[in-house]
């Protein structure tokens, strides 16, 4: 007869755990029994802590689960586990150590332990040779701090924890320091600790003697662009079927294991896309702006770089961080440029990144004398015909990015030499040279040759070349003078009045109106003749040069005439002083007779005055700003009567990009050679939808038999070789022998 066990609670602690959570007081005796058993097992375990004990493991987790039911009885439970881990952290068996940590985390989740009591212990346990434990503790620390700051920032707690982690960074233990850096970086990425103190604590890790800690901190400041990652993910997921398509195909088609896998994969992608949409926006490189002393930080990094013996990849990271600091904060670190200059060779490893660092570290406050040797080495080492076209194009692109941020470094002779590559035989080089020409068209057009400046527009006349260190601070809104015009002029079809075209009209005289109208018509005709290709810089601009020379000659003649008239007025004034006022009024030159340069300056001055008055005396609305933007764009397109060939590029002189994308230097306008697989795919794609090439079977019924001649085309050559011999032409002697044999045979038959 089987004996019944009515009370199994002393042996089944999981059932007891469930009952205790429901009704603690009813099962208090059973709990006391388990607690005494735990105390005895712990006493035995401490005699040999390196040996595992499964019963003790189960009881420790049991006590942690029901600790909130008996807080007074288990008041010393957490401290006992902490003492065991502190005393025997490196000796404990890995499974026992992991269970003790899990029990403490359970107590922390029930708010029975403070984070300041638990984190020092966990950082001490990071010294253990247990990788799984270190990962587990790292995830707990990150999630715990994130949960503490979920509703509101706990400034007092965060400050104490940050101070503790700052002390861990100075610890001799490399693993603990590396884990501390990883935790702070992860919390910064999760927008939990995104303040300046965290960034500056991570900045101190860049000077750590441990290479892994230093590299982790450098990677944090370098960062990765989340937009590029999303683009690559989108490119990979473009070929993937959507969840809707997969579900429809599964419902219609036969159910197979392959289709089930496709459904699971599509669901995962859908969940991933939904998470990405709900994620908070990430602001890349914002950590560089939170550094307290960027100049001192950059100088210390550069001193460390000069004295380091780390591998080349680590030095590249340090150079990247220094260049970003110089570009973002516009620092002055003159020793940086000669250091990088010695690496600017086409055969240098990762030379494109080095070119990027040079461009990032240049800005308008760097003296041009410091950047001039770098520019010359770029041109001498890259932009030479002994190199390949790709190397030349990359060199010109690097020169363009350098001059975008510091245009004064370029000399007139060097710019004109580089502009001659616009007619180079390789398109990649010519396009790079044209981009450099376009840059100086909108920044310093006087350095270019007249044929490369393009057609003058109203926007180019407003360009002011800045000197070194000069800052142009405008006290008005450029283009605000357009608000004085009628709304019909602003919203019309783009026809220009005499006022908007920049001509002066004397309304008091009809003849002057006729003359001014004739002048405007002639100038528009000249503009139409000269405007062959404004966007593309081509070599066939001789007609434009001739027209410009003619205009200059006309201006010189008009100036001479004006001087002669002035001399006449002076002589008349001396002879007849009484008639001085009347003669000056008669001999005063009209605006149409003034030189073109003086006319343009007067027009610009008047427009600036109008814009200043509007900016001060009027509150502008959104519609006003839209009209101003349209007028500014019209200035850049003025005179182009044949339509805009491509969208207008952004004026690089108005906005300063803090960082240089690597694609700006690698941008080579060239058709790349495809690999064999890509060529085969393009061939297959081109063969779709066309008839099969080769022999066409002309049978009406495809199941009918073929003739012997058609069958012979598919047979092996050895099967029909004897018949192929008959096609060979016989010689004259063979024909004679055959004829003789034929005649002998005929005689015998008779």
Residue/partner pairs of 540-546 with CB below 8 Å, 24 or more apart: 541/451, 544/451, 544/455, 545/450, 545/451
For residues 83 and 288, give the distance between their C-alpha atoms in angstroms, rounded to a whole number. 42
HSE-CB at 124 with a 13 A cutoff on CA atoms is 16
Q: Find out whether 358 and 323 touch, Cβ atoms under 8 Å.
A: yes
CA distances from 355 to 116, 338, 339, 377 (A): 47, 13, 13, 11
DSSP element (H, E) containing 229? helix 226-238
What token pair was written down for 238? 């473009």
Q: What percent of the chain has pLDDT over 90?
A: 20
For 7-21, 218-232, 422-436, 695-709, which range has the lowest pLDDT when averaged over its residues?
A: 218-232
Q: At 562, is the pLDDT very low, low, confident or very high (cuts 50, 70, 90)?
A: low
Q: Is the pLDDT of residue 333 over 90?
A: yes
For residues 454 and 445, give the distance between their C-alpha atoms in angstroms, rounded to a whole number. 9
Residue 275 has a pLDDT of: 67
HSE-CB at 117 with a 13 A cutoff on CA atoms is 14
Q: What percent of the chain has pLDDT over 70?
A: 71
Q: At 614, is the pLDDT very low, low, confident or very high (cuts 50, 70, 90)?
A: confident
Q: Find out whether 618 and 483 touch, Cβ atoms under 8 Å.
A: yes
What token pair was written down for 701? 């019924």
For residues 402 and 411, give the distance between their C-alpha atoms in angstroms, rounded to a whole number. 13
In the chain, where the domains are located = 13-222, 243-274, 294-453
Using alpha carbons, select from 455, 636, 634 the residue that is nearest to residue 536. Answer: 455
Q: Find out whether 447 and 409 touch, Cβ atoms under 8 Å.
A: no
For residues 525 and 552, give the distance between their C-alpha atoms in angstroms, rounded to a whole number. 17
Mean pLDDT of 511-538: 41
For residues 14 and 686, give the distance between their C-alpha atoms in angstroms, rounded to a whole number. 69
Q: Is the pLDDT of residue 589 over 70?
A: no
Three-state DSSP class for 703? coil
**Residue 130, by phi and psi: left (phi above 0), alpha (psi -120 to 50) or beta?**
beta
Q: At 148, is the pLDDT very low, low, confident or very high (cuts 50, 70, 90)?
A: confident
What token pair was written down for 224? 């990765």
Mean pLDDT of 632-638: 63
Per DSSP, 21 falls in state H
Residue 236 has a pLDDT of: 45
Kindly give, in sequence order, each residue whose CB lies less than 8 Å from that of residue 541, ignoring residues fewer than 6 positions away: 451, 532
Q: At 519, is the pLDDT very low, low, confident or very high (cuts 50, 70, 90)?
A: very low
Mean pLDDT of 557-578: 48
Per DSSP, 734 falls in state H
Q: At 326, is the pLDDT very low, low, confident or very high (cuts 50, 70, 90)?
A: very high
Kindly give, in sequence order, each residue whose CB lies less than 8 Å from that of residue 624, ignoring residues fewer than 6 positions away: 480, 483
Q: At 378, is the pLDDT very low, low, confident or very high (cuts 50, 70, 90)?
A: very high
For residues 615 and 610, give the distance between their C-alpha atoms in angstroms, rounded to a whole number. 9
C-beta neighbour count of 456 within 10 angstroms: 16
Q: At 596, is the pLDDT very low, low, confident or very high (cuts 50, 70, 90)?
A: low
Mean pLDDT of 614-634: 76
For residues 250 and 590, give the distance between their C-alpha atoms in angstroms, rounded to a whole number. 84
What token pair was written down for 218? 């450098």
Domain 294-453 grouped into CATH 3.30.420? no
Residue 634 has a pLDDT of: 66
HSE-CB at 170 with a 13 A cutoff on CA atoms is 6
Q: Find out whether 498 and 505 touch, Cβ atoms under 8 Å.
A: yes
**What is 617-633 written as a DSSP string?**
H----HHHHHHHHHHHH
For residues 112 and 77, give the distance between their C-alpha atoms in angstroms, rounded to a whole number. 10
pTM: 0.62
For residues 198 and 213, give the distance between their C-alpha atoms in angstroms, rounded to a whole number. 15
What token pair was written down for 139? 């995830």
Mean pLDDT of 162-191: 84
Mean pLDDT of 666-670: 68
Mean pLDDT of 505-533: 40
What token pair was written down for 611? 């814009």
For residues 393 and 668, give the distance between their C-alpha atoms in angstroms, rounded to a whole number. 7
Using alpha carbons, select from 102, 106, 17, 87 the residue that is nearest to residue 45. Answer: 87
Q: Is 599 exposed, middle or buried (CB count within 10 Å of its CB: 0-12, 13-18, 19+)?
A: middle
Using alpha carbons, select from 401, 224, 221, 209 the residue that is nearest to residue 321. Answer: 221
For residues 105 and 119, give the distance between their C-alpha atoms in angstroms, rounded to a whole number. 11
For residues 137 and 135, give the distance between their C-alpha atoms in angstroms, rounded to a whole number. 6
For 17-26, 89-98, 274-283, which range has the lowest pLDDT when averaged over its residues?
A: 274-283
Sign, Cα dihedral of 653, 656, 657, 660: positive
Give residue-wise pLDDT tens across range 735-745.
Answer: 999 999 999 99
Spell out the SS3 assignment of 336-380: HHHHHHCCCCCCCCCHHHHHHHHHHCCCCCCCHHHHHHHHHHHHH
**What is 413-473 written as a DSSP string?**
HHHHHHHGGGG-SSHHHHHHHHHHHHHHHTT-GGGS-GGGS-S--HHHHT--PPPTT----
Mean pLDDT is highest, among 202-216, 274-288, 502-516, for 202-216
Q: At 227, is the pLDDT very low, low, confident or very high (cuts 50, 70, 90)?
A: very low
Identical fold, 13-222 and 294-453: yes
Mean pLDDT of 95-123: 87
Q: Find out whether 99 and 65 touch, Cβ atoms under 8 Å.
A: no
CA distances from 704 to 9, 317, 409, 694, 699 (A): 86, 74, 83, 21, 8
CA distances from 450 to 407, 437, 546, 548, 644 (A): 19, 12, 11, 9, 22
Please name the CATH architecture into which domain 13-222 falls.
Alpha Horseshoe (1.25)
HSE-CB at 39 with a 13 A cutoff on CA atoms is 10
Give residue-wise pLDDT tens across range 461-488.
Answer: 666 677 777 777 777 777 777 777 754 3
Q: Find out whether 460 and 597 touch, Cβ atoms under 8 Å.
A: no
């Amino acid at each position: 007869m089987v004996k019944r066990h009515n009370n199994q609670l002393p042996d089944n602690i999981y059932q007891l755990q469930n009952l205790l959570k429901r009704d603690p007081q009813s099962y208090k005796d059973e709990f006391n029994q388990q607690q005494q058993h735990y105390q005895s097992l712990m006493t035995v375990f401490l005699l040999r802590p390196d040996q595992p004990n499964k019963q003790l493991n189960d009881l420790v987790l049991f006590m942690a689960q029901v600790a909130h039911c008996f807080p007074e009885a288990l008041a010393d439970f957490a401290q006992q586990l902490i003492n065991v881990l502190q005393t025997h952290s490196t000796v404990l068996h890995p499974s026992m150590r992991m269970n003790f940590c899990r029990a403490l985390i359970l107590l922390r989740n029930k708010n029975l332990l403070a984070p300041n009591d638990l984190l020092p212990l966990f950082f001490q346990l990071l010294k253990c040779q247990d990788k799984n434990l270190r990962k587990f503790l790292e995830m707990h620390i990150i999630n715990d701090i994130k949960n503490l700051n979920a509703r509101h920032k706990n400034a007092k707690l965060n400050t104490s924890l940050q101070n503790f982690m700052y002390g861990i960074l100075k610890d001799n233990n490399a693993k603990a320091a590396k884990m501390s850096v990883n935790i702070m970086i992860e919390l910064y990425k999760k927008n939990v600790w995104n303040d300046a103190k965290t960034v500056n604590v991570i900045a101190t890790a860049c000077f750590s003697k441990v290479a892994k800690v230093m590299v982790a901190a450098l990677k944090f400041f370098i960062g990765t662009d989340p937009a590029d990652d999303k683009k690559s993910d989108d490119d990979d997921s473009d070929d993937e079927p959507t969840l809707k398509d997969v579900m429809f195909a599964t419902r219609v088609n036969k159910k197979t294991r392959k289709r089930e896998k496709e459904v699971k994969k599509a669901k995962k992608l859908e969940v991933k896309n939904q998470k990405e949409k709900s994620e908070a926006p990430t602001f890349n490189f914002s950590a560089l702006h939170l550094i307290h002393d960027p100049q001192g930080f950059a100088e210390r990094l550069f001193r460390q770089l000069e004295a380091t013996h780390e591998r080349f990849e680590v030095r590249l990271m340090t150079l990247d961080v220094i260049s970003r600091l110089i570009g973002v904060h516009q620092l002055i670190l003159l020793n940086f440029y000669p250091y990088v200059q010695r690496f600017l060779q086409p055969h240098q490893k990762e030379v494109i990144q080095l070119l990027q660092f040079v461009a990032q570290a240049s800005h308008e406050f760097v003296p041009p004398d410091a950047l001039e040797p770098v520019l010359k080495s770029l041109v001498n080492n890259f932009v030479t015909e002994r190199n390949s076209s790709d190397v030349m194009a990359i060199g010109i692109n690097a020169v363009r990015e350098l001059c975008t941020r510091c245009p004064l470094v370029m000399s007139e002779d060097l710019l004109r030499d580089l502009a001659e590559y616009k007619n180079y035989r390789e398109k990649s080089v010519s396009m790079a040279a044209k981009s450099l020409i376009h840059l100086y068209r909108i920044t310093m057009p006087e350095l270019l040759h007249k044929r490369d400046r393009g057609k003058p527009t109203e926007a180019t006349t407003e360009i002011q070349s800045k000197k070194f260190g000069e800052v142009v601070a405008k006290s008005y809104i450029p283009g605000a003078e357009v608000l004085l015009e009628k709304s019909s002029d602003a919203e019309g079809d783009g026809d220009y009045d005499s006022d908007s075209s920049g001509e002066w009209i004397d309304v008091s005289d009809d003849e002057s109106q006729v003359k001014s109208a004739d002048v405007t018509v002639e100038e528009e005709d000249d503009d139409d003749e000269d405007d062959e290709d404004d966007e593309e810089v081509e070599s066939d601009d001789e007609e434009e040069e001739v027209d410009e020379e003619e205009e200059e000659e006309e201006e010189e003649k008009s100036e001479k005439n004006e001087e002669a008239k002035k001399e006449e007025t002076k002589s008349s004034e001396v002879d007849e002083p009484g008639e001085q006022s009347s003669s000056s009024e008669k001999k005063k030159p009209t605006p149409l007779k003034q030189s073109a340069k003086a006319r343009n300056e007067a027009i610009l001055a008047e427009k600036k005055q109008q814009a200043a008055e509007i900016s001060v005396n009027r509150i502008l609305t959104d519609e006003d700003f839209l009209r101003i933007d349209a007028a500014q764009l019209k200035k850049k397109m003025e005179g182009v009567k044949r339509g805009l060939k491509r969208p207008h590029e952004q004026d690089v002189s108005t906005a300063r990009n803090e960082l240089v994308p690597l694609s700006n230097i690698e941008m080579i306008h060239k058709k790349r050679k495809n690999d064999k697989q890509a060529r085969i795919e393009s061939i297959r794609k081109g063969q779709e939808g066309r008839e099969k090439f080769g022999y066409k079977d002309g049978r009406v019924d495809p199941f009918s038999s073929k003739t012997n001649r058609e069958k012979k085309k598919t047979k092996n050559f050895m099967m029909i070789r004897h018949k192929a011999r008959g096609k060979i032409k016989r010689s004259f002697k063979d024909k004679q022998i055959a004829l003789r044999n034929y005649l002998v045979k005929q005689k015998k038959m008779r």
